[in-house]
Structure 1
Amino acid sequence: MLNNDPERQFEKLPTAIFADAQQASISVAQSIRDLILEKQKHNKTAVLGLATGSTPTRVYEELVRMHQEEGLSFANVATFNLDEYYPMQPDSLQSYVRFMNEYLFDHIDIKRENIHIPDGLLDVSEINAFCQSYEEKITKLGGLDIQILGIGRTGHIGFNEPGSQASSRTRLISLDKITRVDAASDFFSEENVPRRALTMGVGTIIDAKKVILMAWGEGKSRIIHKAVEGEITDMVPATFLQNHPDTLVIVDEAAAAELTRVKTPWLVGPCEWTDTLRRKAVVWLCRKVNKPILKITDEDYNEHGMSDLITEQGPANKVNIKIFNELQHTITGWPGGKPNADDSHRPERMVPFPKRVLIFSPHPDDDVISMGGTLIRLVDHGHEVHVAYQTSGNIAVFDDDVVRFVDFNLDFNKEFGLDNEPVEEINKSIRDFILNKTPGQVDSPDIQKIKGLIRRSEAKSAIRYCGIPQERAHFMDLPFYETGRVRKKPLSEEDIRITVDLINKIRPHQIYAAGDLSDPHGTHRVCLNAIMRAIEVLKDQDWMVNCWVWLYRGAWQEWEADKIEMAVPISPLELDRKRRAIFKHQSQKDRPLFPGHDSREFWQRAEDRNRATAMEYDALGLAEYEAIEAFVRWHF
């Protein structure tokens, strides 16, 4: 598809970028509403192709709101879902039938006979006939008016994996290993993920009158870049949409990060050279020409689409020195501020000293994984450090660990002659439950409680090793998380109240929070939202004027060098101390229950990222360090 907008000259699919997933989802829901209302005027059926997964959930929430608050009726709507695992019981936690009922169908006035979802209970001999019938039903209703899509890391749409053809139709397919790894968390283990699925074909999708493909978060940025700007290939099935006459890609800013107009806007036309863009461009140029900042020449700028920067603000050495100094000033060995020192070029204030520091950790190990070196440094410098564990992390513990701890408790009571009859009853109950537990089954309340206690004890051990008194550990157990499932409840007013109360109690001078939004399970994003909304409540308090908020990353990604505002060097000894603190989380050691798509252990990921940041600073011509933990300040 030709694009006459110079800014979007590299994009082969029309792409709309929204500030966040919420605004983007509302826009998609409005498009669906407009279609439904237009069809109602002519007494016609609106035919929707629907997707599952985390991407469309906000769209469904907004449609439910429109129905309940604005009276939007779905009586004239027929729906066809993209796919379903095979085999799959419709009432299973992982079933897309259950997903659609929970998020949409149970809350609107759609007629049940108008709902169509691939049947995961079919006998193999029935599948071909069912798939043909599915296609015929769509055709009989005049085809799909709107098909909404998410996109997988392999570039799949529906479950059309790499190798799927543009002409493919509804069928039974085998799932790609990457897709199964990404789905593992929903099934509590990759071994439990079905190996096959029923899916609409690429051809079925392309036959829709309008297609809306959505993606949120940094984790989708690379595949969005391939789908929107890459060549058409069956290895990235989403690229087939480039041949569709009315496809719209809708992304948030994070998912758009790799698009040319976002990542390197100077390559698509003249730029307004803000301080932020100038730093981004110079760091990019250093990587491109493999030179440190102070060795970049006018010719390097001219040959890589940045001649206007040199014309406006050059020559090269003037721009280079400015960016070099900016990056140099991000480096500090005093994350809490250095007492009795000039802080005019330091990222943190000198006073007050010592500071009250509140570190929010979404899970019980994110604090030491993502900023353990800085945490230890803050403690060593004498600051009053508090750690707030926002969730229990109870779903990420193996059943074997539960049995081991219950056995220990039983043996402990026997050894010391304590009454152990109730413990024996609990032990039997837990063993019976685990023995008969089906794949993906939600744990009993007792087991959830024990798993939470296991993670809590590990967190206490880790901060004790770091030198933080136990009374400065705060276990928030935010309600949104406590479902026993990977799929969580929406953030509630109770979650925000708990967060407000804790911040107000400590009244910190510094807050550290996880800005690691590539967490595939979404907990980091929800936890950050809780903090931001709590700060919105508190921002007018007098003491909040002196509270700075720093965002860390580490478990899933790291801040890019051009975005870093505070870089804390970590020595080999401190890196070893950080590793030992992470090792205190024994239930997550060796093989965590939910490793995501990265096969390395969390401590390895963190060290590799910390070392990579240090290497990048070195390559830019700055001081050479063993490792660096990086932070970006959030201005509220």
Structure 2
Amino acid sequence: MNTKNLSTSSEKIPLRIFNDKEEGSVYIANQIAATIKAKNELGQKTVLGLATGSSPLRIYRELIRIHQEEGLSFKNVVTFNLDEYYQVEPENKESYHYFMYEHFFNHIDINPENVHIPNGMLSPSEIDEFCQEYDRKIAALGNIDIQLLGIGRSGHIGFNEPGATDTTTTRLVKLNKITIDDAAEAFDGEEHVPLRAITMGVKPILNAKKIFMAVWGESKAEILAKAIEGPVGSDVPASYLQKHPDVLCIADAPAASKLSQFQTPWLTNFCTWDSHMKKKAVIWLSHKTNKPMLKLTDNDYKQWGLADLLKTAGSAYNINIEIHNQIQQTITGWPGGKPNTDDKVRPERSNPYPKRSIVFSPHPDDDVISMGGTLIRLVDQGHDVHVAYQTSGNIAVFDDDARRFTDFLLGFSEKFNIAEAEIQSLHQEIVDTIKNAERESNSSENVLKIKGLIRRGEASAACRFCGVKDENAHFLEMPFYETGHVAKKELSDADIDIIVNLLKEIKPHQIFAAGDLHDPHGTHAVCLNAIFKAIDRLKSEEWMKDCYVWLYRGAWHEWNIEDIEMAVPISPEELMKKRKAIFKHQSQKDSPVFPGKDKREFWQRAEDRNRNTAKLYDKLGLTEYEAIEAFKRYKF
């Protein structure tokens, strides 16, 4: 796949955009490996500044591969990690010390004495001297050759939170609320996240000879735009990188999506006015002028920097009608296609009817949260609807729910005179495990089984409520998910085979999949990748050639209007039915284990999102609806 090497006058940090984080990570790893190899040949040390978290994981895996398969030696490499949580023991799985050895150091030939990671277990009286010595060691080696960075949603680099200046050195810091929220899932709740950390300062970071900042995913798009297009200052510490003479930001397309060159390219550069770009610009102009599309004038286009677009169409009238019709044609009350009609301007085909439709749901509730109204509509309109739950969702259940269901099991056995010995033994095991656990008991296989059954039962109830046949609910329990932790295994052939086999069995005319990459712990992205890989294997099958793939978004985000290719209106009654389907997932009601940054309940987020989409269509001058669920077609 090709990369995009783009820049505009708005970007103050050199930027290279890759199609995905896999390609970007391999690129960075190869640059680091080349530096190490060149210095090894000269008999010189390579000093690396290393980061933790999800951003560098793929980079470390590629460096491990280069070491194991190509013989790259790390014996002459010295490393300095950016940070460590304070008062978190090195053996703790949430510590960055554990992270680095688990994901990197244990797999290469680095000398242990060359590894430097801040000590999070220091007493308060020891911190200042340790931090000063950390900086002295870096300086004594001639500073860092290559510094690897990510960026936090607060704009931090390392743990240099907003307020940090470019003169800060290694020190103990308090963590920002956003940073604590982002770490909550790894620590099984916000209350367990350390409040402080020891971090390398901005000054030693900027002293590095070369810096790579890796930024992946839509959740980082807004802060990346601020860091590389906004002013330099302590509000966004990553913006200090604008002052560095040799820095390169490596981003994937979703992370770069908020940059001016993608948001409003007509304001900074020449545009290729294809259908999508025209639609994007007219929607933007309608929003800026607060006018419906059909009321936009020639003067509006000229005043807001769209004279080039106006020239291609001849008049505002022409372009307004063209884009209005395009968006109008995305709206359909027949997500499976309306039988016996002319479907030339409809998003879905009228034939065949009925269709076999399969809704892939990463977790056991994404189907009803994200597209419950459409799911109900498909069933009501006579289609053969299947729902495939890709993961068990077992870690997202509280211990108390597992205990409650285990109590029920014991009471059930007593009430119906079922042999009790094994049930009593299991009940006692679960009680003891939960009682002795410091946090949620997801390290226990039996606890996880019970939690998985809870989620399966809720999903089955929601399917029945929506009218899906019992035999059409498929629980795939993809292996990558089954770790008992937020951190998951790599996607494997075993995962993809499960998807392939199900698709071959059903031979669907429609596939609905979660395209919501804002999911904070990445499960949606892995599940979508598995579907894409399965589709790639099957695309030559005759039945697959007539299969449409529709991507929905979930509780975290919605498609931009210009990206929507099918908009399904939801009536007030259907919206209420969707809410009741979501309510079937009782373990996720009120306050779920993983609520994300949005404190609203899932049903509230879903309804607000659907209503907001309808309002946006209304403001553009289209029909006013109660709510709309939106989809984008994936063309393979």
Range class of TM-score, shorter chain: over 0.9
Query: Given residue 591 of structure 1, which amino acid in structure 2 is its aligned partner?
Result: S
The whole-number CA distance in structure 1 between the counterparts of 2:465 and 2:515 is 25
Identity %: 59
Contact 1:11 1:229 in 2 (8 A): yes
Structure 2 residue matching 1:16: 3-state secondary structure: strand
Contact 2:441 2:447 in 1 (8 A): no
Q: How does 1:193-592 map to 2 (within 5 A)?
A: 193-439=193-439, 442-592=442-592
2:67 maps to 1:71: no
The whole-number CA distance in structure 1 between the counterparts of 2:303 and 2:42 is 58
Match of residue 179 from structure 1: 179
Structure 2 residue matching 1:562: 3-state secondary structure: helix
Match of residue 609 from structure 2: 609
Greater CA deviation, 431-440 or 333-342?
431-440
1:554, distance to aligned residue in structure 2 (A): 2.3
> Once the two structures are superposed, what CA deviation does each residue of 1:368-424 show, in whole Å capped at 9, x if it has no partner?
000000000000001000000000001100010011000111111111222222222
1:442, distance to aligned residue in structure 2 (A): 4.1
1:308, distance to aligned residue in structure 2 (A): 0.9
The whole-number CA distance in structure 1 between the counterparts of 2:213 and 2:525 is 21
The whole-number CA distance in structure 2 between the counterparts of 1:73 and 1:299 is 64
The whole-number CA distance in structure 2 between the counterparts of 1:247 and 1:176 is 25
Contact 2:402 2:450 in 1 (8 A): yes
Contact 1:192 1:440 in 2 (8 A): no
The whole-number CA distance in structure 2 between the counterparts of 1:380 and 1:592 is 30
Compared with structure 1, are the counterparts of its residues 517 and 615 closer, same or farther at alpha carbon in structure 2 (3 Å cutoff)? same
Greater CA deviation, 37-46 or 375-384?
37-46
1:41, distance to aligned residue in structure 2 (A): 2.0
> Once the two structures are superposed, what CA deviation does each residue of 1:239-258 show, in whole Å capped at 9, x if it has no partner?
11111111111111101111
Structure 1 residue matching 2:633: 3-state secondary structure: strand
Structure 2 residue matching 1:358: 3-state secondary structure: strand
Structure 1 residue matching 2:85: 3-state secondary structure: strand
> Once the two structures are superposed, what CA deviation does each residue of 1:309-367 show, in whole Å capped at 9, x if it has no partner?
11122211101100000000000000000011111110000000000001000000000
Match of residue 59 from structure 1: 59
Q: How does 1:19-168 map to 2 (within 5 A)?
A: 19-168=19-168
Name the TM-score, length of structure 2 as normaliser: 0.98
The whole-number CA distance in structure 2 between the counterparts of 1:442 and 1:46 is 40
1:200, distance to aligned residue in structure 2 (A): 0.6
Q: Which runs of 4+ in 1 moved over 6 A?
A: none
Contact 2:134 2:170 in 1 (8 A): yes
Query: Given residue 370 of structure 1, which amino acid in structure 2 is its aligned partner?
Result: S
Query: Given residue 381 of structure 1, which amino acid in structure 2 is its aligned partner?
Result: Q
Contact 1:93 1:441 in 2 (8 A): no
The whole-number CA distance in structure 2 between the counterparts of 1:424 and 1:117 is 47
Contact 1:169 1:200 in 2 (8 A): yes
Greater CA deviation, 492-501 or 301-310?
301-310
Structure 1 residue matching 2:563: 3-state secondary structure: coil
Contact 1:186 1:440 in 2 (8 A): no
> Once the two structures are superposed, what CA deviation does each residue of 1:538-591 show, in whole Å capped at 9, x if it has no partner?
010111011110000021100010110000000000000000000000000000
1:520, distance to aligned residue in structure 2 (A): 1.0
Contact 1:17 1:250 in 2 (8 A): yes
Structure 2 residue matching 1:551: 3-state secondary structure: strand
Which ranges of structure 2 fall in alignment gaps of 5 or more residues? none
Contact 1:217 1:252 in 2 (8 A): yes
Query: Given residue 193 of structure 1, which amino acid in structure 2 is its aligned partner?
Result: V
Name the TM-score, length of structure 1 as normaliser: 0.98
Contact 2:364 2:392 in 1 (8 A): yes
The whole-number CA distance in structure 2 between the counterparts of 1:314 and 1:578 is 45
Structure 1 residue matching 2:562: 3-state secondary structure: coil
> Once the two structures are superposed, what CA deviation does each residue of 1:160-202 show, in whole Å capped at 9, x if it has no partner?
1111121111111111111111100001110111111111111
The whole-number CA distance in structure 2 between the counterparts of 1:44 and 1:441 is 48
Structure 2 residue matching 1:187: 3-state secondary structure: coil
Contact 1:7 1:269 in 2 (8 A): no
Contact 2:18 2:24 in 1 (8 A): yes
Match of residue 191 from structure 1: 191
Query: Given residue 154 of structure 2, which amino acid in structure 1 is its aligned partner?
Result: T
Query: Given residue 89 of structure 1, which amino acid in structure 2 is its aligned partner?
Result: E
The whole-number CA distance in structure 2 between the counterparts of 1:392 and 1:482 is 8
Match of residue 622 from structure 1: 622
Greater CA deviation, 626-635 or 283-292?
283-292
Compared with structure 1, are the counterparts of its residues 442 and 415 closer, same or farther at alpha carbon in structure 2 (3 Å cutoff)? closer
Which ranges of structure 1 fall in alignment gaps of 5 or more residues? none
1:433, distance to aligned residue in structure 2 (A): 1.3
1:48, distance to aligned residue in structure 2 (A): 0.6
Query: Given residue 303 of structure 2, which amino acid in structure 1 is its aligned partner?
Result: E
The whole-number CA distance in structure 2 between the counterparts of 1:547 and 1:420 is 50
Compared with structure 1, are the counterparts of its residues 6 and 113 closer, same or farther at alpha carbon in structure 2 (3 Å cutoff)? closer
Contact 1:335 1:568 in 2 (8 A): yes
RMSD of Structure 2 on Structure 1 (CA): 1.2
Query: Given residue 218 of structure 2, which amino acid in structure 1 is its aligned partner?
Result: E
